[in-house]
Structure 1
């Protein structure tokens, strides 16, 4: 029996076949679009922090878009943590859009209408999730 097609997961799998590490692509885009975010990362060890943050975010995205077994709850935990740091919620949710856009650019012609629609829906759902009262 074939597993169902998951466009979000597929976009990450396709990206992984083209790029061993999305971290530089994602953070370059984040810093270009939101220059103030660069100061949020300490200079010593920031590459490890960024890589870890991205890996956990990808796990949360895949769970949120899939079966929601629990990893997606990291979004709520990190939202509270980033609130405590003073990070605006719009900036917090913008990180998900940055990831989508980095994937889209990396995939080029392989970025299908189905993947685009799945990501559009996911971003709306994450924004609603982030906006929901605690």
Structure 2
């Protein structure tokens, strides 16, 4: 298997070596930073919903940061969907920063300038994409 040169992919690969499931880390951080988000999740089956939502978000992020085969379009669909749920756009976009911050904490000293810059640029591009599709 060929090693990736994409800093976003590298960050997720390294995070996966340290943590089998990012879900608890991501949602703890999300709810700490945005307590209002916790009420948006039903308690029945909530962990499955959270895990599924995170997996889809990561898949979309990886595609957006990579070759853009189409999975990234889920971001536009979810912008519209979350608008329908009454989720503020800022909170929707904050989720991607929460993912980044969770990965950054897992990587510790392996969080390089190159990875940080790639994530910063990615978040700007995702925000622009989400605004363009709204």
TM-score range, shorter chain: over 0.9
Are residue 84 (structure 1) and residue 73 (structure 2) matched?
Answer: no
In the TM superposition, residue 3 of structure 1 has moved relative to its aligned partner by 5.9
Tell me what 1:20 maps to: 20
Tell me what 2:128 maps to: 128
Q: Is the Cα–Cα contact under 8 Å of residues 7 and 114 in structure 1 kept in the other structure?
A: yes
**Whole-Å separation in 2 of the counterparts to 1:5 and 1:53:** 26
Q: Deviations over 1:70-128 (max 9, x none)?
A: 00000000000000011111110100000000000111000000000000000000111
Number of residue pairs matched? 133
Between 124-133 and 2-11, report the one with greater CA deviation. 2-11
**Whole-Å separation in 1 of the counterparts to 2:107 and 2:84:** 35
Are residue 112 (structure 1) and residue 82 (structure 2) matched?
Answer: no
Aligned pairs for 1:1-134 within 5 A: 5-134=5-134
Question: Which runs of 5 or more residues in structure 1 are unaligned?
Answer: none
Q: Is the Cα–Cα contact under 8 Å of residues 61 and 72 in structure 1 kept in the other structure?
A: yes
Moved over 2 A (4+): none
Question: Which runs of 5 or more residues in structure 2 are unaligned?
Answer: none
